A and B are shown apart, each in its own frame.
Chain A
Amino acid sequence: MAEIVLRDVEKFFGENYVIRKLNLTIQNKEFVVLLGPSGCGKTTTLRAIAGLEEIDRGDILIDGKAVQNLPAGDRDIAFVFQLFALYPHLTAYENIAFPLRATGESRSQIDGQVRAVAKAIQIEHLLSRRPSQLSGGDMQRIAIGRALVRRPKAMLMDEPIGALDAKLREEMRTELKRLHLENDSTTVYVTHDQVEAMSLADRIAIMNEGVLQQVGSPTEVYRHPANLFVAQFIGSPVMNVTKASVQTSGAVASVVVGEGDGSFGFPSELPQKMAAASHGQGDFMLGIRPEGVLVSRQQAPGYVPVEAHIIEPLGAYDIVDLKVGRQFIRARTASGYVGKPGETVYARLDESQTHFFHPATGESLNISFGGA
């Protein structure tokens, strides 16, 4: 298996950067997801690792060896595409066996390998079928089988389950994760779906406009996003973000959101923490996920009255839009907790789940109140 190192990798079309100064190490046996919106450079990065795309600067190392000048066939890497690139006239068995044809192995050796892979991905009963007789999920399983049979140093996957329906995608996520666990193959996986990234990855590398924004475990990028882009790209519903400023009156600190749209109490250390982050009394961007907005039907200390606007019942829980002046802040509540739109409820921002970002750069000010 393999370690993959990207060192100062750059790629541009004319004046436009597709990838800019990318530095990333994918450790042996690690599952790394490249996540970002369309056009962020994630697929180009994956194709560059595979050798399907040339880079303009930097090095790509596999197990310490620079491969950027090697053709794709010599890099010993398997690639799985979003669309099931199977040979329609061959059976599932023949499709999986195909990459072994050129290896000069005996028929019985090949047979053993195909059957071992088929068993691992539980498609033994499908081996005699042709692609046209298979469901979308099964076709993608065969495509993954074909990639695995070569025992490549690394697996590269480009949105391999993006074309499947929601329920099948859920099942395939679990299968892919188990497959990785059992095969220990170094895997680089590209997606624009943050749920997929969070569910699958050991570490997520988030890209935007060709620039790597943050690399970290799912928990790290969810709880400690490095900037506003990551904060709002990870998590659903999206993190609430609003302009805010700190106000102090004696020992009491509060945060005023929007243009004086509402004011929430905060621990009195907030001004010191802001000063320590060398951000003084200036405006900042406040970020808080819906589960960090605490809602009560009764008045309680620290809670301020707000009006419930739209209620989205999602079954296991509700998402409630709270009207704070002219702003809306989304909260996650127990199912049916807020009765109907227009009701007055009470809300508080959980300081341990509040994020503070620089208003101009969007970078995190790294202020935190511990707890969760």
Chain B
Amino acid sequence: MANVRLDKVTKQFGAHTAVRDLSLDIADGEFFVLLGPTGAGKTTILRLIAGLDKPTAGRIVLGGEDMSDWTVAQRDVALVFQYYSLYPRYTVRQNLEFPLKSKVHSYSRAEIDERIERASKILRISHLLERKTDRLSGGEMQRVAIGRAIVREPRVFLMDEPLSNLDAKLREALRAELKDLQMKLGGTFLFVTHDQIEAMSMGDKVGVLNDGQIAQVGTPQEIYNRPRDTFVATFVGSPAMNLVPGDLAGGKVTAIDGKLVVPVNGHAGSAQAGGVTLGFRSEDIRVGPDEATEAVVHDVENHGVEQIVTLRIGGHLVKATVPANVPVTVESKVRFGVDAAKVHCFDAKTGVNLTAG
């Protein structure tokens, strides 16, 4: 296993810059998730590390060695794709053997059998070994595809949205399995996804990518609780963080036409008085008769364990999480307040978080 370092990497396709001067450190044995919307450059980064594309500028370092000029085979990394890419007329065992029979590496029969046995046990596909892959379910196929990566014992696992094509229930189960697998193998995993729940639930570290650049790297808790800018703040978390324009003066932010006033004493950092964007998550809103701000219930979404209530204040909409057993009726009047300790102040122009710590 090995650490991976990207050092000021740029990748251009013609006039389009897919990855821009990007530096990134993935520690040995870390589960690192690259999270971003379509077109952010996630897959390009994976392909650069795998050696399927060459960077326009910058270095890619694996285990301390510059591998910018290495071939795909020399890099010894394993790729798992969204589509299973198995050989359909072959058995699971034959599919697992395939990467062990390349010209670069040759293994003895005993070694091959041992690796297949070990991988199939970890992935719980031992009972499927003699079955042809076109007779497998989606979840089983993706396990076999992952198995094909495991048997190689690569230095790094690269995974490109491997769970996206599975149904919700299976995705949840495989999320936990993959995390468990990574802990057992102690392997370096780089996992790419556009799904913030996948990123939060699996990553030791999450790198949020926007327009070819890293917006923030941190633990799931860090990027959720201390987003560096409005992009990260609204991309991570569901429902998206509420953002409303406000004015900072005298240690208070006044927002929503003067109807919402939140003290930001002590934690607005170096913020200058003036226009800011005030951010707060739905779970940091309290709804109750003694709260300061009046609103009309615009919409109620039943999420089973809780309700997501959209509040309308003049022309502004704000989402609040309310326990399932609290009765809320559309178009009724309610009052709400925001937990002052949990609000964020963002620069109104750049979107950068001005809130300290």
Contacts and interface: CB of A to CB of B under 8 A. Distances in A.
Interface stretch (B105-113, B247-255, B263-271, B302-310): B302-310
Nearest to B283: A316
Contacts of A170: 238-240
B321 A316 contact: yes
B240 A289 contact: no
Contacts of B301: 173-174, 177, 198-200
A372 B303 contact: no
A315 B303 contact: no
Contacts of B308: 199
B200 A198 contact: no
Contacts of B326: none
B189 to A, nearest CB: 14
Contact of B168 (A178, A236, A291, A315): A236
Contacts of A199: 301-303, 308
Contacts of A198: 301-304
Interface in B266-288: 281-283
Interface residues of A, number: 45
Interface in A204-237: 218-219, 222, 232-237
Interface string B8-38: 0000000000000000000000000000011
Interface stretch (A64-72, A274-282, A306-314): A306-314
Nearest to B203: A313
A39 to B, nearest CB: 11
B279 to A, nearest CB: 14
A312 B196 CA distance: 12
B172 interface: yes
B249 to A, nearest CB: 31
B167 interface: yes
A194 interface: yes
Contacts of A336: 221
A222 B224 contact: no
Given A312-B200, A312-B201, A316-B283, A167 B240 contact: yes
A310 B237 contact: no
Interface stretch (B70-78, B148-156, B174-182, B333-341): B174-182
Nearest to B173: A238
Given A199-B308, A313-B221, A336-B221, A222 B302 contact: yes
B172 A237 contact: yes
Contacts of A316: 237, 281-283, 321
A218 B302 contact: yes
A310 B179 contact: yes
Contact of A234 (B179, B235, B304, B330): B304
Q: Range of interface residues on chain B?
A: 35 or more
A165 interface: yes
A307 to B, nearest CB: 13
B302 A315 contact: no
A38 B237 CA distance: 27
A195 interface: yes
A200 B302 CA distance: 8
A37 B169 CA distance: 11
B298 A315 contact: no
Nearest to A234: B304
A222 B201 CA distance: 24
Contacts of B220: 313, 315
Interface in A343-369: none
B201 A314 contact: yes
A339 to B, nearest CB: 12
**Which of B173, B236, B238, B317 lies at the interface centre, i.e. has the most chain A CB atoms within 10 A of its CB?**
B238
B234 interface: yes
B303 A174 contact: no
A290 to B, nearest CB: 8
Contacts of A341: 183
A362 to B, nearest CB: 15
A223 B126 CA distance: 37
A37 B298 contact: no
B197 interface: yes
Contact of A315 (B169, B195, B236, B310): B236
B238 A177 contact: no
A289 B304 CA distance: 10
A291 B234 CA distance: 26
Interface of A: 37-38, 165-167, 170, 173-174, 177-178, 181, 192-195, 198-200, 218-219, 222, 232-238, 289, 291, 309-310, 312-316, 319, 321, 328, 332, 335-336, 341, 372
Given A310-B179, A313-B220, 6 more contacts: A173-B301, A177-B299, A178-B299, A194-B168, A198-B302, A316-B321
17 contacts: A166-B238, A167-B234, A174-B299, A177-B301, A195-B303, A198-B304, A218-B302, A222-B302, A237-B172, A309-B180, A312-B176, A312-B202, A313-B200, A313-B221, A332-B305, A335-B221, A372-B325
